[in-house]
Amino acid sequence: MIVETAAPAAPADAAEWWRGAVIYQIYPRSFADTNGDGIGDLPGVTAKLDYIASLGVDAVWLSPFFTSPMKDFGYDIADYRAVDPIFGTLADFDTLLARAHALGLKVLIDQVWSHTSDEHAWFAESRSSRHNPKADWYVWADAKPDGSPPNNWQSVFHGPSWTWDARRGQYYLHNFLAAQPDLNLHHPQVQDAILDTARFWLDRGVDGFRIDALNFAMHDPELRDNPPVTDPGAKRLRPFDFQHHLYNQSHGAIPGFLERVRALFDSYPGARFTVAEVGGEQADREMKLFTQGPARLNSAYGFNFLYADALKPRLIAETMALWPGGEGEGWPSWAFSNHDAPRVVSRWLGPARDREAFARLAMLLLVALRGNVFLYQGEELGLPQADVPFERLRDPEAVANWPATLGRDGARTPMPWRAEAPNAGFSTGEPWLPVDPAHPALAVDRQEADPGSMLYFTRRLIQLRKAHELLRLGAFRPVPAPPPLLVFERGNGELLCAFNLGQEAAECVLPAGWRVIAETGDFPQPLSGLIAERA
Q: Mind telling me the catalytic residues? A: 212, 277
Return all residues near 205 (Cβ < 8 A) that are at least 6 apart: 97, 101, 107
Q: Say how many Å lie between the first and final Cα of the chain, rounded.
A: 17
- Rounded CA gap, 73 and 395, in Å? 8
Pairing label, strands 79-83, 514-520: unpaired
Long-range contacts of 303-310 (CB under 8 A, 24+ apart): 303/278, 303/279, 303/341, 304/334, 305/334, 305/335, 305/336, 305/344, 306/335, 306/336, 306/337, 306/338, 306/340, 306/341, 307/279, 307/341, 308/348, 309/347, 309/348, 310/348
Q: Can you name the residues that pair with 407 across neighbouring β-strands?
A: none
E strand or H helix that includes residue 61: strand 59-62
Which of 136, 140, 138, 135 lies closest to 162 in space, CA to CA?
Answer: 140
Q: Can you name the residues that pair with 212 across neighbouring β-strands?
A: 112
Residue ranges in 412-476 assigned as alpha helix (H)? 444-448, 454-467, 469-473
Burial 296-315 (b: 16+ CB within 10 A, else e): bbbbbbbbbbbebeebbbeb
Q: How far is CA 294 from CA 283, 348, 514, in A?
A: 20, 36, 38
Q: 255: number of CA atoms within 13 Å, CB side?
A: 13
**Residue 398: left (phi > 0), alpha (psi -120 to 50), or beta?**
alpha
